[in-house]
Chain A
C-alpha cells in the first residue's frame, strides 16, 4: 500500500533489513573462543586428544563442503571421495618431489580443483540422480586409474614422505593445526561464499534451474564454481586424511563411506544451513565413538537416520532447533525487523520517546528520522528531527497532548453526518473515527474499555 503510493521507497520503509543479529555476534565471539581453545589443544591435552579431534575436524570440513554442493547448489554428488583420493595422491606426489607436506595440502586442494574442471564439464551435463551416479562413476574411474598406476603404488599404496624431519610430537601437532586450519577455512569460506550473491544464485539454481536461468542466473557457471570449490576443499581434506594416516591406499582413500558420511552429516544436521553440517559432524562423531564397535550396524543406523531425516524432518536437527527457538547463529539471509534494536535502545537511553528509526541518514540527527512512521496518521513519514513534519498529515512527531475527542464523535451522539439528520453507521464501542493515536495511546475499535477517551 505504501509502496503503491510511490512516496516511500523500500529502503526508507520503517523496517530495518539486516543479516547480522546480536545472537550472531555472540556466536561469532563464542566460535572465536572455541577456535582458540582448539588451537591450544596440543599444548594442553597433547597427543591423545589430537587424533579424535582431527577426525572430527575432517568431518566438519567434509560436511560443510558437501553442503555447499548439495545443500546450496542442488548437486547431490556421491562421488566426492574421488577428490579426497585425488588430494591424498597429489599430496604424496608433491611430497615425493620435496615439497613440505604441510604446504602440500594447499597443492592438493589446487590439484583437485584442476582435476575437477574437465570432470565438471562431463558430469554437469546430467542432473539429479543421474548426476549422482555419474559422480560415482568418476570416483570408480579414479580408483581404477590409481590402482593401475605403479608409480603411485598401485593397489598396495604408498606412505607419505617428508614428515621425518619433525619429531613425533611436533609432527602430530602440526598435522592437527593443519586440519584445524582446513576445517576453519572450509566452514568460514562456505559461509562467506554463501553470503555473497553467489549463495543466492546457487540456491536459485539448485531449487529450480529453469526459473533461475530465466531470472538471469548463470546456472552452469554457478554449478561449475560450486563443484570446483567443493572439489578443491575435498582435495585439501583428502591431503589431511593422508597426513593423519601417513599412508595412502586406494581402497581406503577412495572409500564411498566418506560420501555416505557427508550425506549423513548434512542431512542430520540440516541441509542448506551453515550451522547444520557442523552439528551433523558432531552427531556423526559421537555415533562413531559410541557405535563403531558394532561394525556394520553402525552404518545401518547411519543410513536409516539419513532416510528418516530426509522424510520426517527434512531440515535436520538444526532446522528443528531454529524453527523452535528462532536461532540463526550464522545468518545467510536477510531478515526484516521493524526497527533497528540497537538504535532504538540508544535513543531510549538518551531520554527520547520510543524511537522508531535510526538516526537520519542525511544529517545524523537521532530521533525521528528518515523512514520512521508518523505516530499520528501511521501513514506519512518524517525525514529527520530537524525537519519535523509528517509528509502524510503534516503533524508534529511530538506526542500530542492527551485530550478527549470532540463530543460529536462520541458514541451515540449525533455525528457530523447525523447533524444533517442521517443515522451513524458505526456499531462499535467507539466510532471508527476515534481510532488512531490519541496522545501516546493508540485507540482502535477493538481496544479495551480503559483506553476509551473519557466520557463527558
Chain B
C-alpha cells in the first residue's frame, strides 16, 4: 500500500472514531429534543461542566478520571433532574420560545461561572495509561485506544438508550410521553418525574462525553458552545429523532473534519459547517429521517 492511500485511510479511520465523540454528545441533545421538545442550548456547557467536575474529583482523589466516573455520572444525573425540575420544566409552560431563551441564558451563566471559578486556562484530564496507549493496525495506521474507547462508549450508550427506549417500561413511558404528553398523563404516567429522569440521562451522557473530550484534548470554560454546535450538526445531519442517525451524522462530521484537516487544518471546521449547510439545503430532515417525521417533531419551519 502506498503511503498516499495509507494517509487517507488513516484520516477516514480517525475521522470515524472522532465522530463517535460527536455522537456521544449529540445523543443527549437528541433525547431531550425527542422527548421534551427542548433544544438544550446549554448541553455543550453541561458537558464541559462534567469535564471540570471530573477534573476536580480526579485531582482531589489523585486517580485517573475513569475511576471517578461512578461518582460523576450519578451526580450528573441528579444535576440534570434538578435542572429539569427547576428551569426546563417550568419554561415549557411559557410557550415554545421560553426553553430556548432559558437554556441560552443558562449556557451564558455556566460559561461565565466556570470562568470565574476556574479561569480561562485550557485544562486536560488525567486519563491514566489509557490516554497514551495505542495499537497499530497496519504499517502506518496507528489508532489510539482512547479514541476507540470513546467510539465504543458512544455505541454502548446509543444501543443502551435504544434498548432502554424500546424494551423497558421506562422506555415505553418515555415514548408515550414523547408522542403526546397530555394523553400520557391521562393514562396515568407521571410526566414530570419522567421528564426529570430523561433530562438526568441526557446530562449524564453529556458528562461522559465531556470526560472523553477533556481526556482526548483540552477544554476551557467557553468550549461548550463549539461542542454544542458540533453535536447539533450531528443531530441534524443524521436526522432529528433518530439515534443511529446521530451516530452516522457524527461520523460524517468526523470524517469530513479529519479528511479536510489532512489537506489544510485551517479549513477543517469550516468544511464541517459547510457539510451541515449542504445537508440543510439538500435534505433538511437529515439523512435518516423522512421530512414528514421531522416536521411532526416540530424541528422544521
Contact = CB atoms under 8 A, between A and B. Distances in A.
Interface of A: 70, 74, 76, 78, 121-134, 136-138, 140-141, 144-145, 148, 207, 209, 220, 223, 256, 260, 263-264, 267, 271, 295-297, 299-300, 302-307, 310-311, 314
Given A133-B39, A300-B116, A306 B270 contact: no
Interface stretch (B17-25, B203-211, B232-240): B232-240
Interface stretch (B58-66, B74-82, B101-109, B242-250): B101-109
Mostly, the A contact residues are helix
B233 A128 contact: no
Nearest to B226: A140
Contacts of B104: 76, 78, 132, 260, 263, 306
Given A136-B225, A136-B228, A303-B109, 20 more contacts: A78-B104, A126-B301, A128-B37, A128-B97, A129-B41, A130-B232, A130-B299, A132-B104, A133-B41, A133-B232, A137-B233, A137-B276, A148-B266, A223-B301, A267-B101, A267-B105, A271-B97, A296-B113, A307-B102, A311-B91
Contacts of B281: 121-122
A303 B280 contact: no
Given A122-B281, A125-B301, A141 B228 contact: no
B108 A299 contact: yes
A182 B20 CA distance: 47
B236 A304 contact: no
Q: Which 3 pairs from chain A and chain B are nearest by CB?
A: A129-B39, A303-B108, A127-B301
A407 B274 CA distance: 91
A314 B233 contact: no
Contacts of B105: 263-264, 267, 303-307, 310
A303 B101 contact: no
A138 B40 CA distance: 19
Contacts of A296: 112-113, 115-116
Contacts of B41: 78, 129, 132-133
B94 A144 contact: no
Contacts of A307: 87, 101-102, 105-106, 109
A307 B269 CA distance: 31
B214 interface: no
B56 interface: no
Nearest to B274: A141
A148 B267 contact: yes
Nearest to A147: B266
Contacts of A304: 105, 109
Nearest to B40: A129
Contacts of A300: 108-109, 112-113, 116
Contacts of A74: 96-97
A70 B281 CA distance: 23
Contact of B96 (A128, A133, A134): A128
A122 B101 contact: no
Nearest to B236: A130
Contacts of A256: 225
Contacts of A129: 33, 38-41, 99-100, 103
- Considering residues B96, B107, B115, which has the most beta carbons from chain A within 10 angstroms of its beta carbon? B96
A296 B115 CA distance: 7
Contacts of A144: 269-270, 273
B233 A125 contact: no
Contacts of A123: 280
15 contacts: A125-B280, A126-B236, A128-B96, A130-B39, A133-B232, A136-B228, A137-B276, A148-B270, A263-B101, A297-B112, A303-B106, A303-B107, A307-B105, A310-B101, A310-B105
Given A127-B300, A129-B33, A260 B101 contact: no
Contacts of B95: 207
A12 to B, nearest CB: 37
Interface in B82-126: 87, 90-91, 94-109, 111-113, 115-116
Contacts of B109: 299-300, 303-304, 307
Contacts of B300: 125-127
A201 B242 CA distance: 34
Interface in B135-166: none
B112 A141 contact: no
B229 interface: yes
B277 interface: yes
A140 B232 CA distance: 13
B298 interface: yes
A141 B298 contact: no
Nearest to B240: A130
B54 interface: no
B284 interface: yes
B39 A132 contact: yes
Given A132-B41, A148-B270, A311-B90, A126 B280 contact: yes
A31 B111 CA distance: 38
B108 A260 contact: yes
Contacts of A121: 281
B178 to A, nearest CB: 16
A296 B273 CA distance: 29
Nearest to A299: B112
A223 to B, nearest CB: 7
Contacts of B106: 303, 307
B94 A314 contact: yes
B301 A136 contact: no
B250 to A, nearest CB: 15
A311 B88 CA distance: 9
A214 B140 CA distance: 61
- Considering residues B95, B112, B301, which has the most beta carbons from chain A within 10 angstroms of its beta carbon? B301
A193 to B, nearest CB: 20
Nearest to A134: B280
A69 to B, nearest CB: 11
A140 B225 CA distance: 10
Nearest to A121: B281
Nearest to B285: A125
A297 B108 CA distance: 11
Nearest to B107: A303
Nearest to B280: A122
A127 B240 CA distance: 12
A429 to B, nearest CB: 48
B89 to A, nearest CB: 10
A126 B97 contact: no
A304 to B, nearest CB: 6
Nearest to B120: A296
Nearest to A144: B270
A269 B83 CA distance: 25
Given A263-B104, A300-B112, A125 B267 contact: no
Contacts of B108: 260, 299-300, 302-303, 306
Contacts of A310: 91, 94, 98, 101-102, 105
